[in-house]
């Protein structure tokens, strides 16, 4: 009835290889996309810290001191950032803060 050899599992290995390649490509794409989003988030966070320090700077320049709610907000926003080797939070009370420091805040 059958004249040839029947090969039931002929495509199994090929499908497994294709599946492995698709999963590998998917994993690489996910890594690139999540890294791109984390860099965007970091840039936005640095900008938020700079904005908070600018507010502290303006308040200190205007009044000679900084309101507690403004400095508390600055501490929360800038806790992960540095200027040179100093924590950015060192400047949340306004003392010693300059525009140069604000411009050079970076991720620690």
Count of structural domains, the chain: 1
In this structure, what token pair is assigned to residue 50? 């700079």
Flag whether 3 is in a domain.
Answer: no
In this structure, what token pair is assigned to residue 18? 């294709």
Flag whether 2 is in a domain.
Answer: no
Q: What is the pLDDT of residues 75-102, one digit of tens each?
A: 999 988 898 888 999 999 998 899 998 8
d(Cα 4, Cα 26) in Å, to the nearest integer?
39
Residue with tokens 């988030």: 41
Flag whether 35 is in a domain.
Answer: yes
d(Cα 40, Cα 62) in Å, to the nearest integer?
33
In this structure, what token pair is assigned to residue 44? 């936005």
Flag whether 16 is in a domain.
Answer: no
Flag whether 4 is in a domain.
Answer: no
Q: What is the pLDDT of residues 28-83, one digit of tens each?
A: 888 887 776 666 666 778 889 999 999 999 999 999 899 999 999 999 999 888 98
Flag whether 10 is in a domain.
Answer: no
**Distant-in-sequence, close-in-space partners of 60: CB < 8 Å, separation ≥ 6:** 66, 93, 94, 95, 97
Residue-number span of the structural domain to which 65 is assigned: 21-107
Residue 87's CB: how many other CB atoms inside 10 A? Answer: 15
| pTM score over 0.75 | no
């Amino acid at each position: 009835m059958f004249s040839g050899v029947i090969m039931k599992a002929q495509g199994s290995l090929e499908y497994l290889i294709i599946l492995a390649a698709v999963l590998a490509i998917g994993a690489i794409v996910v890594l690139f996309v999540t890294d791109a989003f984390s860099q965007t988030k970091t840039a936005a966070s640095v900008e938020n810290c700079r904005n908070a320090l600018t507010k502290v700077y303006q308040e200190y320049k205007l009044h000679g001191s900084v309101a507690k709610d403004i400095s508390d907000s600055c501490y929360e926003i800038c806790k992960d950032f540095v200027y040179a080797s100093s924590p950015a939070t060192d400047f949340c009370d306004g003392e010693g803060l300059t525009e140069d420091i604000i411009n050079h805040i970076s991720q620690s």
